[in-house]
Amino acid sequence: MIEIIPFSSQHDARACADVMHSTEPWITLGLTREKALEISSDPVLERYMAIQGDQRAGYILINTGAQFPGYIKILCVAPAFRGKGVGKRLMQFAEDRIFRDFPNMFLCVSSFNNRAQQFYKSLGFHVVGELTDYLIEGHSEILMRKTIGPRTTFKPSNDTR
């Protein structure tokens, strides 16, 4: 059974960084371990990991702050757990978390990462834009969105008005 819990230590951030910098798509993007650690240690992000037994199966980092709330910054599944529903479970967790307070979820996926694009489409995300040559020359970042409505009419679930 997969359990999703918040990062509890810098050790969790280091473990996330190790998976990121040693797997695709981050290898193609040229992500160093130092940059991966900087991202996975960012206190502005909500940081969660999927645990199965005593193993870390995957990670999701979510921006819920003022700048672009509802943005999935990182979804990372450890190689041994890929194709076993961990990514889907993390994304469902993120959806529940984000849609409690915001009407939109966003993420970027690299144009060369066709499998991830199909995965996100299967979860109800739609392409809303393309950032050409954004991270590396010759490739785009595809901006995707899943929504439950416009911001102007959305009421957070904790709204008491």
Q: What is the CATH number of the domain that holds 123?
A: 3.40.630.30
Residue type, 91: M
Tens-digit pLDDT profile for residues 84-127: 999 999 999 999 999 999 999 999 999 999 999 999 999 999 99
- 161: in domain: no
CA 133 → CA 32, 114, 122, 141, distances in Å? 19, 17, 26, 8
Domain-embedded: residue 69 = yes
Q: Is the pLDDT of residue 160 over 50?
A: no
Confidence at 80, pLDDT banded by 50, 70, 90: very high
19: pLDDT confidence band, cut at 50, 70 and 90? Answer: very high
Overall pTM > 0.75? yes
Mean pLDDT of the chain: 95
Enclosing domain of residue 29: 2-153
In a domain? residue 160: no
Structural domains counted in the chain: 1
DSSP string, 86-149: HHHHHHHHHHHHHHHH-SEEEEEEETT-HHHHHHHHHTT-EEEEEEETSSSTT-EEEEEEEESS
Residue 159 belongs to some domain of the structure? no
